[in-house]
Amino acid sequence: MSWSPGEEMLSESSEEEPEELESLSDPNAVDKFIFCQRQLLSLFTVCPECCGETKGHIMHPEGTFIKVKQACGTCGYERYWQNQEKVHRNMPACNLLFSSAIHFSGCMATQTIRMLKLFGLQCISPSTFFRHQRYYTIPTIVQAWRNEQRGIIRELKETGGGLILSGDCRSDSPGHCAKYGSYSLIEDRINKVLDVQLVQSSEVPSSS
């Protein structure tokens, strides 16, 4: 699944309004750690109630998310533990943060996920990344840019004196012919990008 310029950005359900991510804390503000399965399950070998021997079982792993069930056959004690909270539409928070980190850093998703699989680390699939990209990270980037653009326009209105604009178009790069190119418009006095438009390479006369 991919997104192309000019395509309307839809929510996962066209019949519902987008919901705010609900969380008691900011999952991005806490540290994350890598641990091995054996060491994790060793924390669930003793029953907190009767101190009898128990075993923990990992239930329904979902990308970076795991849920551990601990049950005691002696006293009947039972509890569940999960390694992260869930947010929008019952989605594991770190799954979305993982997709965001890949996208915002400019890394190649398939290569990053393949490397982590070789390492043995449980993570999301490429299809999950592209779904997050379509419904969450791209709309977030677009919204952040629109907010920035409104601030620049407000600044120019307060400055007065008209506009001094310069533009540049990049439709491909050496050794690669892209379908889309970007045209940037810069206000020279404040040295900030005022607008960016994506165009098809075929619309640019000098493109190959």
Question: For residue range 147-201, what is the model confidence (pLDDT) as tens digits?
Answer: 999 999 999 998 888 889 999 877 665 556 667 788 899 999 899 999 988 877 6
Task: Determine contact, residues 88/66, Cβ cutoff 8 Å.
Answer: no
pTM of the model: 0.75
Please state, as a whole number, how many other Cβ atoms lie within 10 Å of the Cβ of residue 92: 23
Q: Which residue ranges make up each domain of the chain?
A: 27-162, 164-208
Rounded to 10°, the helix 138-159/93-105 angle is 60
Give 15's contacts (C-beta < 8 A, 6+ positions apart). none
Residues 74-130: pLDDT tens digits?
999 999 999 999 998 899 999 999 999 999 999 999 999 999 999 999 999 999 999
